[in-house]
Structure 1
């Protein structure tokens, strides 16, 4: 096989055997666990004779706890006690199903757990019933997946390519399972960039890495490889949690083969079943699913937010139910080590939504405010589009830490790397672009240099905060009793309710009749006022109205008077200002507007400059002012492109016309 994609394609060709007996969406249920099983078998094959011999010897000695001894024999943290291996299983086709299950059950508990999450026993039975088990096993037996042939990095790529294919045929979201490796390498570079020449180079260093949506474990693997390449003596402990059973099983198998403790990979929803409650980590990185709603765990999240507040994970706020991205970030921030214990660094991939979604004092804005005011946001890198397998949208890497270097304190760096990419020779789903090693190095350098350039901007934390002020303008109404406005009164709910029964059960006929009489009385009074002139002062009109109703003996409740005034009024810029009982101008809700004033700017200076010259009668409603935070990334890197001149456009049109005429001449 020339590369991992050739190997993955060869493995996926097993689908040709499954076609007809399996739906396309079920191919992965056979191919993924069988690949893992073949990998485990290939790893154990060289030590199989020694393990069986030791097993027999210890059985004669009646030794009970065999696991540590057998694991030392294999050189891994797992083993298999069966006399079978992948090839020898095929020697007895008549009992293949029974022997295969016995072989799987003979794995040590941590490896057997992996196959259990695949629910592979069901597929063995199904394949056997379809007379496909022997053919599938034979196909996989032809593949050598020993680490000497296929190393861990290549194996990770193979798993990811298989999952991508599985997702394509079953219309699932491949991006929920894994992230392109070059994006992971960039994230890892940014994560360790500030520590590379100091803490990570020391002898005897122990570092923990955590991913709350670890998928197949790609981010954990690349992080571990980076650190061990930097410092051979470093001890790296990786932790992860994953919700998808297939991805969890693959990740756990990968960690098992790399010598990591598989018990540090947990299954379940990180929000409702936090597998590492109360634990903190040195480094964290993740690519949570984009735009995935959190309705299934809404109760657990809201309960924690209400009961624990900032003592829990979600005290800063809750984003809209349709996108849980910022919940993942809060979850990770809650697992930062205190600065006194060395602090933590975080890298996370988002789409554009967490930058700006939600207005002032919304859940999203409050989360951004909490992060920025705590000075945790170090940098954001804008990536090129079409980098991911399941989406072509633009993505961003956020880098956060609670131990910023002195020069970064109170600052946020924005890096525009949207131009740094190369086209792929062949697209993979929505992925048409990729980052080269040179691109990754350039972005890492810009982050490390921490200086202003065309593609790197540095801001104060306060630059992303604003006050959302409410700008009011006075209500100005005229009043007139006319057919049109009386007709509007008849549509008012308060007027219609006069003739509606308020009693439960059978309609109150007397009550309804009384209401209709009152409606008629009101209309008679208004008919008498029809000849009155247009009023441009509400107080004057109210006096006339009250006097007329009092003379007619009709009592008006406050809601009914409000309905009459509403129906008989229209907005009129030439009318007098309507005032409340204290003489203050009443605001016109239809003219209400909002302005976002940067935190660094004085609200009243802004108001006098930007509002008053255009609406001199406006004022700020102080009680409605809110604080908001957003990161308008694109705005800070926008470059104005002058429009072409009219002469240039006309010349181009003439040229196109000439070309069209020439083509028409050829047709003739």
Structure 2
């Protein structure tokens, strides 16, 4: 059964819920039942052996758990003699048997159903006379990994969550990232390390602070398993949404990962991995979401811990907290002396340029660039995400840059690399093909400037190219007779006094001499102006689109005149016909 057919089958359960449940509540039933059936199928082949082992070890007075896990070949078990098929075989006791079955799971699985608040839904379905019908419908479907692999199952979860988010007017994009975008990020993350990752027995750690349903962790694991089946990727993450957290944890559980490394809660206010460092990291934080709810905790950490905490470089404006996740990831990097780290994060355009010199955003960019952490930024096409059509950018950040990248930043414009989807999904109308992903990855891996159809698509800059000094230009205050007013005491004695109404600022590129710039750009126009050096500020911005702008000269006037005459002639002919 393919992913579309499977999603359609599960969605058909909604027909049973219609009338007793609002559409926005369908997910509260369908998601946990889908997870339950998946776990049920995963454990089915070893069910009898596990129960026999339980009886034997209990009779011997031994703690059976480690033996049961070995028999199950999983990181979880179920000690109940029931399964979903047996539960629906006893129609009069579905409620009690379902509760007993869930209680038989390992603690890590019980936590998943607690996050779903599944007990509430079981009671509600029982009272509505729907519990048997729903359980029986799910008992029919085969969700064993041999029939539905982990990748396909992840797509099913994403499709279901997207539909439920649309029905409840939630932001679907907060829960997951399109798979082809994740594939691109993973390729960019690993492309320079393929040799190291190919060594036998290699172990690497990967972290996602906005894990959603675990898509980024899953795709990264699939990549490494394909590259080196003997490699081991240990994943960790954190997620705020209870349902997404539950799906993520279930997915990681089935894949044999340590689900204790998947934390629940708000990453910014309650870091679930406060002392951990990771080799690789991926994140797609919410775009343009204010951080007022966690402002108190974030500001306290910023003021108390400074650069010893996560938010030392600065704080962005309250209306968009995405740069806080950027800083959070920087704080999770392994020291360069211990091998360093690389991470990819999806951001909207705002973090590139929002905020003037010495603003929170500018200071964060300054920290990233002056510490030579930014490897590349890839501009993606619009309409790539389910919840927004705006332009988005992948930042690749590392504290172990290869020698050719030292002191450099690569900008890749991939905004024209897309194909139209057969069917739009929310705001998502475009997708990256395999060829697009390969081309972008190649441009990054080769680290060179390139053009396509006469337009630049890859450019390389020095870190300092993005810095500037904001200088304050003063002009003299004059009295009613036009005479310059001078100071009469202190340091200002005998010096022209500034007229605040004529005060202006200029942004001078960091690489350029300020005095030379002033003499060329300001003095010829206002000969009596001067610079107040005490007010000079340093700022950083990354005007991505400006660096890929190609000037198109206007057509010759003769050609435009000829077209206008032709249009006027046609209009006169039409008017003549009307008259």
Q: Determine the structure 2 residue equivalent to 1:16.
A: 15
Quick one: structure 1 residues 591 and 5, their matched pair in 2 at CA, closer, same or farther if it must change by over 3 Å? farther
Q: Determine the structure 2 residue equivalent to 1:92.
A: 90
Shift of 1:648: 4.2
Map 1:533-544 to 2 at 5 A.
536=481
Q: Determine the structure 1 residue equivalent to 2:459.
A: 457
Task: Decide which of 423, 428, 432 is 2:425's aligned counterpart.
Answer: 428
Aligned length: 570
Quick one: structure 1 residues 249 and 585, their matched pair in 2 at CA, closer, same or farther if it must change by over 3 Å? same
How many Å separate the matches in 2 of 1:224 and 1:246? 22
Map 1:446-485 to 2 at 5 A.
446-453=443-450, 454-478=456-480
Structure 1 unpaired stretches of 5+: 479-535, 537-574
Which moves more between the two structures, 20-29 or 306-315?
20-29
Partner SS, residue 148 of structure 1: coil
How many Å separate the matches in 2 of 1:662 and 1:44? 80
Shift of 1:651: 5.1
Task: Decide which of 111, 115, 118 is 1:120's aligned counterpart.
Answer: 118
TM-score, reference length from structure 2: 0.95
Shift of 1:599: 0.7
Shift of 1:150: 0.5
Q: Determine the structure 2 residue equivalent to 1:36.
A: 35
Q: Name the larger-Rg structure.
A: 1
Structure 2 unpaired stretches of 5+: 451-455
Map 1:534-613 to 2 at 5 A.
536=481, 575-581=482-488, 582-613=493-524
Partner SS, residue 194 of structure 2: coil
Shift of 1:276: 1.1
How many Å separate the matches in 1 of 2:15 and 2:570? 52
How many Å separate the matches in 2 of 1:643 and 1:152? 54
Q: Determine the structure 2 residue equivalent to 1:319.
A: 316
Q: Determine the structure 1 residue equivalent to 2:536.
A: 625
TM-score, reference length from structure 1: 0.83
| Alpha-carbon RMSD | 1.9
1:167 aligns with 2:159: no
1:194 aligns with 2:192: yes
Q: Determine the structure 2 residue equivalent to 1:547.
A: none
Q: Determine the structure 2 residue equivalent to 1:72.
A: 70
Map 1:119-518 to 2 at 5 A.
119-197=117-195, 199-453=196-450, 454-478=456-480
Quick one: structure 1 residues 200 and 475, their matched pair in 2 at CA, closer, same or farther if it must change by over 3 Å? same
Shift of 1:437: 0.5
Q: CA offsets, 1:262-302, max 9 Å, x none?
A: 11111111122211111111111111111111111111111
Quick one: structure 1 residues 473 and 269, their matched pair in 2 at CA, closer, same or farther if it must change by over 3 Å? same
Partner SS, residue 37 of structure 1: helix
Quick one: structure 1 residues 53 and 652, their matched pair in 2 at CA, closer, same or farther if it must change by over 3 Å? farther
Shift of 1:194: 1.2
How many Å separate the matches in 2 of 1:93 and 1:652? 80
Q: CA offsets, 1:36-86, max 9 Å, x none?
A: 1111111111222222222233333333x2221111222111111112211
Partner SS, residue 380 of structure 1: strand
Are the counterparts in 2 of residues 33 and 115 from structure 1 also a CA contact under 8 Å?
A: yes
How many Å separate the matches in 2 of 1:109 and 1:603? 65
Quick one: structure 1 residues 667 and 133, their matched pair in 2 at CA, closer, same or farther if it must change by over 3 Å? farther
Are the counterparts in 2 of residues 67 and 108 from structure 1 also a CA contact under 8 Å?
A: no
Shift of 1:660: 7.6
Partner SS, residue 193 of structure 1: helix
